Amino acid sequence: MRKVLVTGFEPFGGERVNPSWEVVKQLGDLELSGAQIVVRQLPCVFGKAIDALNAAIDEILPEMVICVGQAGGRVDFSLERVAINVDDARIPDNEGNQPVDETIVASGPAAYFSSLPIKTIVSGLRESGIPACVSQTAGTYVCNHVMYGLMHRLAQPSCKVVKGGFIHIPYLPEQAAKHPGAPSMSVHTVLNALELTIAIALHTEQDLKIAEGATH
């Protein structure tokens, strides 16, 4: 059976929970669109987060990887378009590291783009009544760090992962209650959005393979 790896982060920045993991962990061992969903939690630590992600890819050998992170203050389920090759931390990570204007991969390109069908996904989510958007920035904290690391891994000729990308989600309501005026999104809504995202991305890949087969 095909496998999809979905990751979330541990809490950071003084929060007791991270909505990405609170949602992602509920996908564990789910079968969706003919694929088994495997989940892993990543540390909110520069360097170690990419190491943990690469170890999970080596172990699971997924067809697709979707990484999810918290973006407090955002109103939508945000499909990230691009990751840039820079770490510039506004606050320290969970081990006290706070890089400023450092490259993630010294020999890497300035940026990598998501290989998920982000606009198709956003359209499908909106049709289902879920607020969603294409985001043009993943920031410069550990989320961008992981997205860049993921896409750098996928760019290697030996990598068998077909698609990958990053999604930012708002606070959970219980978090937003401690940040007056901050928007939020429920676990139920985000879980539905993730399931739809995976289904759309898998179906898009299947449609491409069918179309390629028909032309050969």
Tokens representing 54 are: 């690469």
Catalytic residue among 44, 152, 168, 205: 168
The verdict on whether 44 is a catalytic residue reads no
Beta strands in the chain (DSSP E): 2-9, 31-32, 35-42, 64-70, 77-80, 82-84, 111-113, 132-135, 163-169
Region label for 29, one of left (φ > 0), alpha (ψ between -120 and 50) or beta (otherwise): left
Q: What is the rounded CA–CA span in Å between residue 39 and residue 29?
A: 8
| Furthest CA-CA distance within the chain | 58
The verdict on whether 168 is a catalytic residue reads yes
The verdict on whether 205 is a catalytic residue reads no
Indicate the DSSP class of residue 120.
H
Judge whether 184 and 173 are in contact, CB under 8 Å.
yes
Catalytic residue among 22, 44, 67, 80: 80
The CB-side HSE value for 46 (13 A sphere, CA atoms) comes to: 22
Catalytic residue among 22, 44, 63, 143: 143
What is the strand order of the sheet 163-169 is part of? 31-32, 35-42, 2-9, 64-70, 163-169, 77-80, 132-135
- Ordered alpha helix ranges (H), 2-112: 19-24, 48-60
CA end-to-end distance (rounded Å), the chain? 25
Which residues are catalytically annotated? 80, 143, 168
